[in-house]
């Protein structure tokens, strides 16, 4: 398990790429319509309310005076038969209220269950409650959203990194891993890649790609399978979970230095290259 490590190295270039990524990838929230105008119409001002009250009081006073005058002038001479009063109108029967059907319960998101693998083994949830919760959230995100992002803090020798889980299941595209930038920036980079994949672009082959971040080219290279266990363990777990263990593919995203040189090219700035370990190469033999 990679432990917490505060990777404090930053330089101007990181700030530049972070600004570009955030401007492009962070969705702009639509401004909510103000209800002030509606309230002003519905609720009269104090002046208009006092005027309307005065008018209504004058009308009611006039009606009372007319009623008193009418009662004197309407006195009938003696002997004149008074007309029978009209019977009061009978109130129409009240219609019974329509029965309201109870609201249907909201649909709960389906969570995939452990599946049987070809070798009849079963992928089990982790025994640890915290790990089990992470696994369940991962499965739910892939099923409902299409992919899941995992943030991993470095341990001193390895910088912070972020990688995707679910792109293979949803799009048939290799997962993507990126190193050495602020966590939010790396997540936004993955979001931009996923948006491109969703639009039909492919980043599975080694090469440089434009249009992911404004003003910068990014490169991808296939990750050596010998590095899978050390860096993308949850992606391996998910492939086994859906019954497709052994076919995981991952590409590493590389970002260049200010001169546009990538870590796998000669002349790349040492600090930029140090932030991005070469997972496209086989790991050195363990001693």
Residues 140-161: pLDDT tens digits? 999 999 999 999 999 888 999 9
Residue 131 lies in a domain: yes
Q: Is the pLDDT of residue 57 over 90?
A: no
Q: What is the chain's mean pLDDT, rounded?
A: 72
Instruction: Please check whether residue 165 is in contact with residue 118, taking contact to mean a CB–CB distance below 8 angstroms.
Output: no
State how far the Cα of 224 lies from the Cα of 252, in Å rounded to an integer.
10
Task: Give 10-38 pLDDT, tens digit per residue.
Answer: 344 556 666 655 554 444 333 333 333 33
Q: Report the pLDDT value the prediction gives residue 23, as an integer from 0 to 100.
A: 55
Strand partners, 250: 175
- Residue 17: predicted pLDDT: 67
Structural domain count of the chain: 1
Residue at 1 is within a domain:
no
Element holding 141 (H helix, E strand): helix 129-144
Question: In this structure, is residue 265 part of a structural domain?
Answer: yes
- Mean per-residue pLDDT for 236-253? 95
For the CA atoms of 259, 265, 268, 273, what is the dihedral angle to 10 degrees? 130
- pLDDT reading at 283 higher than 60: yes
Specify if 48 maps to a domain.
no
pTM: 0.62
pLDDT level of residue 287 (50, 70, 90 thresholds): confident
Residue 198 is assigned to a structural domain of this protein:
yes
Long-range pairs, 132-136, Cβ under 8 A, ≥24: 134/234, 135/234, 135/237, 136/111
Look at 266 and 56; give whichever has higher pLDDT: 266
Give the structural domain span for 260.
127-274
Residue 196 lies in a domain: yes
Burial 40-64 (b: 16+ CB within 10 A, else e): eeeeeeeeeeeeeeeeeeeeeeeee
pLDDT at 167 over 90: yes
CA 268, chain centre distance (Å):
36
Share of residues in the chain with pLDDT > 70 (%): 57
Does the residue 88 lie in any domain?
no
Instruction: Tell me which of 32-36, 128-132, 188-192, 202-206 is least confident.
Output: 32-36
Q: What is the pLDDT of residue 142?
A: 96
Residues 247, 249, 255: CA angle, nearest 5 degrees: 175
Looking at the predicted structure, is the pLDDT value of residue 239 above 70? yes
pLDDT of 242 strictly over 70? yes
C-alpha 217, offset from chain centre: 26
Question: In this structure, is residue 209 part of a structural domain?
Answer: yes
128 confidence band (pLDDT: 50, 70, 90): confident
């Amino acid at each position: 398990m990679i432990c917490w490590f505060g990777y404090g190295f930053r330089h101007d270039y990181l700030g530049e790429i972070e600004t570009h990524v955030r401007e492009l990838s962070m969705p702009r929230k639509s401004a909510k319509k103000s209800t002030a105008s509606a309230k002003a119409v519905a609720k009269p001002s104090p002046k208009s309310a006092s005027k309307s009250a005065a008018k209504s009081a004058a009308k009611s006073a006039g009606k009372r005076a007319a009623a008193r005058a009418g009662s004197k002038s309407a006195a009938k001479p003696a002997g004149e038969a008074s007309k029978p009063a009209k019977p009061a109108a009978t109130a129409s029967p009240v219609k019974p209220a329509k029965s309201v059907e109870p609201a249907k319960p909201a649909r709960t998101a389906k969570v995939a269950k452990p599946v049987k693998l070809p070798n009849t083994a079963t992928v089990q949830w982790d025994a640890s409650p915290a790990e089990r919760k992470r696994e369940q959230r991962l499965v739910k995100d892939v099923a409902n959203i299409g992919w899941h992002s995992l943030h991993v803090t470095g341990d001193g020798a390895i910088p912070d990194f972020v990688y995707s889980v679910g792109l293979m299941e949803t799009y048939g595209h290799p997962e993507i891993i990126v190193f050495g930038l602020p966590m939010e920036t790396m997540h936004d980079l993955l979001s931009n890649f996923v948006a491109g994949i969703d639009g039909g672009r492919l980043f599975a082959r080694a090469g440089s790609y434009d249009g992911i971040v404004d003003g910068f080219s990014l490169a991808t290279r296939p990750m050596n399978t010998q590095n899978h266990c050390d860096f993308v363990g949850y992606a391996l777990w998910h492939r086994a979970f859906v019954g497709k263990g052994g076919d995981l593919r991952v590409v590493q995203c590389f970002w260049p230095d200010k001169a546009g040189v990538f870590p796998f090219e000669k002349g790349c700035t040492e600090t930029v290259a140090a932030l991005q370990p070469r997972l496209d190469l086989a790991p050195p033999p363990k001693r």
